[in-house]
Structure 1
Amino acid sequence: MNKTVNINLGGMFFHIDEDAYQKLNRYFEAVKRSLSNSTGKDEIMKDIEMRIAELLTEKNRGEKQVVGLKDVEEIITVMGQPEDYRIDDEAAAEQTYNYSSSTRRSKKLYRDKDNSMVGGVLAGFGHYLGIDPLWLRIIMVILLLGFGTGFLIYVILWILMPAATTTTEKLEMTGEPVTISNIEKKVREEFDTFSEKFKNVDYDKIGNQARNAGERIGSGLSDVLLKIFSIFGKVIGALLVVIASATLGSLIIGFITAGSFSMVNFPWQSYIDNFTDVPLWIVGMLILIAVGIPFFFLLILGLKLLITNMKSIGNPAKYTLLALWIISIGTLIALGLQQATEVAFDAKVVQKQKIDFNPKDTLKIKFAYNDYFAKDIYDREDFLFTQDSAKAMVIYSNNVTLRILKTDEKVPYIQIEKKAEGKSFAIARERAEKIDYNYKFKGNELIFDNYLLTDIKNKYRHQKVEIFLYLPEGTYFKPDMSVQNYDHTDNNFFDLWFDSDIYIYQMQSSQVKCLNCADENGFAEGEAWVDEEQIAREAEQEARLEVEQEMQRQNIQNGQNSSTTVTINDKGVQIKKEATQGPQGAKSKGLKMDKDGVIIKNN
């Protein structure tokens, strides 16, 4: 019973008994000693290990799992004894050896990367077929140019064929026996070829050529990049100059005309006055400095990009402008904070007035516009600084809302709430009291203004008017189409139908009900579709029958023979009767009745 050892040989795992392992280990040691003076000893040993690993793999196929002493001896016979292949000089390398048939191997198909022009496919086929690769390359060019399939075939073979990278694979590619001597010979040839090329290299020349080429490429590339950046910089500089100059010019003109001398009233001048109590020229100066200084620096930057030798404005000027800019920004921020305090509080004033209105009538509601400020009821402005008909500056706004609510009182009433904001409750209330808003009640029609006015001195601080119309239960009302623009009533309580002023509503206990609004089928609530013409015809026939029956009854009572003609039209009911001489000598009579069948004339 022998012990077994697990070894890793050439990247492969084997089970080998102890005697075979010792013999194989002594063999490797002898090979190393024989290659002690050889060039590329490590590369040769690596190839020998890989070749022996391949032979062991072939012998272990099948059920056999352990490498024995006999297997190692057969492999040593194939590979050769180390002392038989000692190569100390070139003369020894020229020796020839006789190999048994077992050492001969068939060729394997590999890509020859050492003699390749592209991927080594055709050079590998040349070794495998034993012909010059040149003929194969000529055939491939013909296929490529003539049929167009050569490229696809070459790519497929390139993917499928492995490359001969190790010494063993290169010997297998050429069909040479993979022995110690051939492995060492192949490695020495590769090292000699590389050394010969390395010796024949003119390093000074190559270095000078590489340096000169690098300098030319770097110089040319830098010139191109500098040219591109120079052109790009010129374009950017021109844009900066144009934009900065236009902005600075606009700021200066605006400050001179509107800020300092106020020769022209610009539309935004009133808005600046509304923003702060600071004089307009100070605000204009702050805006000019805050916006103008950054654009001034952009102008300088653009000029420097356009003009190469332009001098700097100097550090004192830079620091002075920077300090002015910081001061202006800080002042504008302070003014902004002051403006924020102007709307810190809100207040309202309330006006309540009862409506002298007959509860049996229908209350009509509408909004009216002032044709001096607007040309249509649908013209709307949150707020606008303008002049009234007396040329006084006012703030005009359509911030008016209406809410219809229920009241338990017996008389309807209006509650007008005027609201405004201010930096204190007192100021906000005072500003709300100065809101000018009007409405009027004429007959059974309630007409509200759709706008509010206030003096421009009061400043715009979100002034608005909220109208609350309180109606008792059972009140009928009819909104005009203009109401839909200002109604803010909760839809769950009062759902106003848009685009119509024919609907009549009634205030009920929990909500407002529309009495004649059409549903999705076009019927009014609680109604069904009827044929009005059919109803009219049936009524006419019924009225004619009643009249004829009444006339016959009268004739019987008077003992007369007569013929009666009944006509029903939009003028009412007309009856014409012709009678013969009766017992009492009655003459012909003509009767005329109204729509209800009542006689209104007797001839």
Structure 2
Amino acid sequence: MNKTVNINLGGMFFYIDEDAYQKLSRYFDAIKRSLSNSNGQDEIIRDIEMRIAELISEKHTNPKQVISLKELDEVIQIMGQPEDYRLDNEDNDGTAKNSNTFDSNPNGPVKKKLYRDREHGMVGGVLAGLGHYFGVDKVWLRIALLLLVFFYGTGILAYIILWIVMPEAVTTSEKLEMHGEPITISNIEKKVREEFDNVAERIKNADYDKMGKQAKHTAGQFSTSIGDVIVNIFKVFAKVFGVILIICSIPVVISLLIGVFTLGSIHFMRYPWSDYIEAGNFSEYPIWVFGLLMFFSIGIPFFFLALLGFKLLITNMRSIGSAAKYTLLGLWLVSIGLLIAMGINEAVERSEEGRATQKQSFTLNPQDTLQISFKHNDFYARNVHDRDGIKITQDSTDAPVMYSNNVRLYIEKTSEASPYISIEKQARGNSVSNARKVAEKIRYSYKISGNKLILDNYWLTDTSNKFRDQDVEVHLYLPEGTKFKADESVRDYDNSYDEFFNLHFSSDEYIYKVEHEQVKCLNCPENENEFGDVAGAVQVSSNSDTITTATTTTTIRDENGKVIIETKTPAPPPAPAAPGTGGKGLTTDKNGTIIKK
């Protein structure tokens, strides 16, 4: 039965078998002896300890596991023995020469790991780290990033996400992994020696007089506690910013998660808006796929923002791990690509416009007046004025249909002898031909009975045709001299050109006549008929206290000169004069009422 020892190795606590502990102690003693003449011996030993601690942590799933002698031998085999690469002598130029070139890796080729290289980077070291990982000069990556910045700013967003995801190469082991070099004692020593040589070279070439003056100037500036105050202010700002990130990010992620489950349940449960969502989906993918892609493309950046907020609040918070970061990054990139493809497909499906036209001539006696009206269907609406843009409902057979009141009436003039009606059904699609096919599937009806034209105020189509901007235009072409009357339902659907036909809303008893250039109302009051002649006038007596207003007489005669309709309407009074002035011989009050002089 062996004893166990609790040790601190590279800042991590482990339980180790007593025999393994003694062997580990001898191993470190041998390393220290081999590095006795090396610069940065303490730094090398610390990096070696951290690397050994990482290798042991990878083998242990429970922090209470004990390091056995077998596990220690496996770790030492990876790290190598000190005598294999001890530096025996140095060349004349001061560089160390290895007595035994031990360059092989016991575990085979080493895979590179993605880290940020702050030492060779300009901002966060992201591009420098990517350059090491892919073997590309960071200059080309900077050019690519600059181009992406001008592409809707995607370069900045990608750089920020990579900055959050990629860890920084801080330790010597991480710097070796960044370059794909095996983490052995010789490589650790080599890396540390290079860093010490670089520092020594900078010190050797430094201008000490200039540095002394700068140091003296800096010491004078920071002789007070201003620096500490500024640092504390930045720490408080970081905490507040972290709280803001958490408050803004977590609700977005939760809302997106609820949306994904809601969209995913459409195939199992029916919601009032389920058919509307399906009718707007032109892709071959189910709607829950779109929701899942939206969750990944929007939720993953907000998740990392929330994670950044927690890190600003909790300084010693552990990372979620490289595997999780790379997995989420991959999901985000794939989601963005698929969403772009689906968006292009949605746009293409509505890119072209097509129409289907149905024309019918009818006979109208010259003496007759055409009666125009719209009617509704009691199955879909309460009355003719109950209107909807587009809604999904069920027909009399309980089949789902799209119902809409997008019907427009145009009254126009024709040079043909007989009037005719043209029904134009319109829709959009990925081509003119497909758009025309969708338009042909619109169901719209009307009825001509004697001198009555009864138009449906709605159209129907199957829900399988999707939302494609369907609508119906009714063009009524009337020859010159045709008289017609429009009831009150027409006002909701009339879209005629005002220069040709101006529908009067004050009454549905008005009779209109198609003339050479425009439609004229035959029995409208002159103050409403902008095309008529004023038969009466307003007379104001300068020697009287009263106003005499003539009447407007409208007379309609048949072909034999017989009076059919005759109306008398008082003409409107003149606008009141300014208070106190009136007209000649008149005085008005502040409301414009004529009072006796």
Normalization by structure 1: what TM-score? 0.48
TM-score of the superposed pair, with normalisation by structure 2:
0.49
| Higher helix content, 1 or 2 | 1
